Each structure stands twice: as C-alpha cells, then as structure tokens.
Amino acid sequence: MLDIRNINVYYGAIHALEDVTVKVEPGEIVAIIGSNGAGKSTLLRTISGLLRPRTGTMSFKGKDLTTMAPHDIVRAGISHSPEGRRIFTNMSVHENLQLGAFIRKDAGVADDMEHVLKRFPRLRERFKQNSGTMSGGEQQMLAIGRALMARPEILLLDEPSLGLAPNLVTEIFNIVLDLNKEGTTILLVEQNANRALEIAHRAYVLETGKIVLSDTGKSLLANPKVKEAYLGG
C-alpha cells in the first residue's frame, strides 16, 4: 500500500534520513520507534509531502508521492496527525474538525463528524470551546479526530501518547486499535516503544536517520538489543 524505498532527506547539510525503506500493507499497524532526533517525524513529514526526498521513491497504492502536492496526498488517502498536535488553538473544536475535511466535497462529511464525536465524546462536550483552552489529552483527541475527518485509508500518527497521563495513554492506544479494526491502516511513530510494539503488527527501529532493525512487534519486544535500548533493559 505504502512503499517507501531508499529515501534520503536533508535539512540543509543535515542528512536526516539515510536510505530509509519502509513498507506498509493494507490493514496493518506499523510502528516506527527510535530516540529523540532519530528522524521519525521527518519520515512522516516526508510521506505527507511537507519535505521532499532528495533521492529514493515513495508510492501509495501505485501512485508516485515524490512530487505530489500535500493536499493531493491527503486526497489520495493519507492523513497526518502531527507531533505536538498542531491544532488551530484560536478556533473551536467544531472548526478544527471541519478543517480536517477541507479536501472533501462529498456528502459524507456530516456523518463522519458524528462518527468522530461518538468516538471522542469529550469533543462533543467541548464542541464550541476554543480548542487552545482544552487539556493536552483533549487536544490530542482533537488532532486525531481532525485527521480522521479526511477519511484516510492510512493514518500517520506522530507521538499520539506524548505527555499524557497513563490512563489516557491506554485510551489513546485503544482508540488506535479500534480504528485499525474498523479498517484504517496505521503508521505510528512513538517513543513509548513498549506500547507501540504491543499493538504493532510490524515495526522498524530508526537510529540517527537509518533503519537498523525491522521485524514483527512481538519479536522486537523480545529482542535483547531493543530491550536494552528502548524498553528500559
């Protein structure tokens, strides 16, 4: 479904991704784990078209992504819930959700809004509230809800559990599992490697811009190198 082959991405002279190859099949949850600065967010930003690979290829369902405009990438079925939430804090919950559907002209937007509000009852309670005044967890839910309003086939999630209390982390991971069961393919970036590997069908370990390991989530959870470096020994 998503086929990233040998991409090289730079920020000026900084070589942020080196020959990165990642594949995602329909229906999978694929996790990318790695330390701060490994290049996880860079990878998602490149898939979304916000950064361009200098070399390498990227395709989604056979369509070339390397030169596609970001809004066309959303239209093709790829939606990104970015790190740090990046919601429009001066707008209401309702307005943020509407913006998530900006590429759509179909009649299903209202139904999808209802679906998102059912999944996140808190967003319904806060529908007219200025989103900047919501808690961190509520803002995270809004960021995911907004990404879902594009009705994606694949959802790119950048650190959805960052900064949340443990019970909310569990809730977010359960939501990711539910979305996947309903048919959304997931590419999940997480520093919470334990939780991510538990729910991922497959995962990749990114170290300073390079993929150093890839395997099933289960195998990586049991891998001594991964345990030592990412799972607290």
For ligand ATP, the binding residues (CB under 6 A) are 11, 14, 16, 34, 36-42, 83, 191
CB of 35 to ligand ATP, least distance (A): 7
As measured in angstroms, the least distance from the Cβ of 191 to ligand ATP is: 5
Q: State how far the Cα of 189 lies from the Cα of 150, in Å rounded to an integer.
A: 20
Q: Which is nearer to ligand ATP, 94 or 210 (CB)?
A: 210
* Partner interacting with residue 11 (select from ligand ATP, Mg ion, none; CB below 5-8 Å by kind): ligand ATP
* Residue placing its CB nearer to Mg ion in the complex, 49 or 126: 49
Q: Which is nearer to ligand ATP, 72 or 83 (CB)?
A: 83
Residues within window 141-180 making contact with Mg ion, judged by CB under 5 A = none
Minimal distance, residue 125 CB to ligand ATP, in Å = 30
Taking the complex as a whole, how short is the minimal distance between the CB of residue 189 and Mg ion, in angstroms?
Answer: 7
Q: Which does 191 bind (CB under 5 to 8 A by kind): ligand ATP, Mg ion, none?
A: ligand ATP
Of 18, 72, 83, 153, the one binding Mg ion (CB under 5 A) is 83
Strands 185-190, 63-64: pairing is: unpaired
The yes or no reply on residue 41 touching Mg ion (CB under 5 A) is: yes
Give the strand order in the sheet containing 29-33: 78-81, 154-158, 185-190, 29-33, 202-207, 210-216
Give the nearer residue to ligand ATP in terms of CB position, either 62 or 232. 232
Q: Pick the closer one to ligand ATP by CB: 14 or 222.
A: 14
Type of residue at 78? I
**Minimal distance, residue 110 CB to Mg ion, in Å:** 33
Part in contact with Mg ion (CB under 5 A); list of ranges 51-59, 82-90, 168-176, 180-188 = 82-90
Contacts by 176-185 with C-beta closer than 8 Å and gap 24+? 176/29, 177/29, 178/119, 179/148, 179/155, 180/27, 180/29, 183/27, 184/148, 184/152, 184/153, 184/154, 184/155, 185/1, 185/2, 185/24, 185/25, 185/26, 185/27, 185/28, 185/29, 185/153, 185/154, 185/155
Q: Tell me whether residue 51 or residue 113 sits nearer to ligand ATP (CB atom).
A: 51
Site residues (vs Mg ion, CB under 5 A) = 40-41, 83
